[in-house]
Amino acid sequence: MSSRVEEIIRRRVLTEVEKYPFFQRAVVALSGGKDSGSLLHAFIDTYPNKEVIPVHLNLGIKGFSEASECFAKMQAERAGLRLMVFNLKRELGFTIMDAERLYPKVCSVCGGFKRYLLNKIAFELGADIILTAHHLEDFLVRMLKSVLNAGFEELARFKTYLPRNGNLIAKGRPFCRVPESLIVEYAFLKGIPFLSEKCPIGRKENVERFRRTVEILARRQSQKLLYFSSLTKLAEMLQNSGAVTMPELTPCSSCGFLASSEICSFCARMKKIRAFLGRDQAP
Ligand code: SF4
Ligand code: ZN
């Protein structure tokens, strides 16, 4: 018999995923943490007939990436699946720690790399969708930041599901209405192994401040859900108002994936990092 926590999570995953058009092959981004480990488990539990490919990106962060990969592997094995690992150092010749030397605000670069690589991998695997484990508070923080910083374009672009666009695979966030506290309960209840250590190079003070603000503003889960609905409505209104213009996407002249500039930010940054490392290693 399933517990209350399992039931809530299953219901919320189901409600969200039922809004997506039909799909069969899903890539689940597995970091080794509690959120993605729980998502993999909850998704398989809810949709046992879908094809799931767990993918882990090893970012080469010393003392952290080794452990993350190890936990991701355990989570995949526990679900009876084989983990696919993409190792940045091996495949691209540099790590996120190398990138940090050139880009001290490394999280935005790292986030962009992860999005690009997951899309490329999913595209090559012929997947229909990429599922990530962003939860309720992740969304509230992002949306609140956009509103307070007048980042209306960012808010207008906000979606819990992004349909496929050319070579950009569809993206779904089945945990968007699940609070973090429930995910923690679920992970312990289901005995999901996860790495609780935080990334040692991430500078997310700003995010943490917003996170604390969300906790002060919404003491109860129902309040968080209400704020989420209000902000989602606001994002939809902005999208439909025509007040913000969406950038036109064209194929990147280097890799061919759709981007808002002639050369995509991944290719441009990768070129810079490789040139920087080349200079660095020159005699
Ligand atoms: Fe990358 Fe920042 Fe996350 Fe670390 S905290 S994995 S650097 S996005
Ligand atoms: Zn490119």
**Residue ranges per domain, the chain?**
4-136+147-204, 250-283
State residue 32's pLDDT score.
97
| DSSP secondary structure letter of residue 165 | B
State residue 15's pLDDT score.
96
Distance CA 10, CA 142 (A): 24
pLDDT one-digit tens code per residue, 221-240:
999 999 999 999 999 998 88
- Fold classification of 4-136+147-204 is Rossmann fold (3.40.50)
State residue 62's pLDDT score.
93
Find the residues whose C-beta lies inside 6 A of ligand 1. Answer: 59, 96, 106-107, 110-111, 199, 201-202
With a cut of 70, list the residues of the chain below it in pLDDT: 1, 279-283
| 70, 92, 172, 269 from 96: Cα distances, Å | 18, 11, 25, 12
Residue 85 DSSP SS3:
strand
Closest residue by Cα to atom 5, ligand 1, is 202
State residue 280's pLDDT score.
61
User: Angle between the 180-189 and 4-17 helix axes, to the nearest 10 degrees?
Assistant: 120
CA of 143 to the centre of ligand 1 (A): 19
* Token reading at 78: 């526990």
Distance CA 82, CA 66 (A): 17
CA of 2 to the centre of ligand 1 (A): 34
The reported pTM is 0.94
Extract the runs of DSSP E, i.e. beta strands, from the chain. 25-29, 51-58, 84-87, 129-131, 161-162, 170-172, 250-251, 258-259
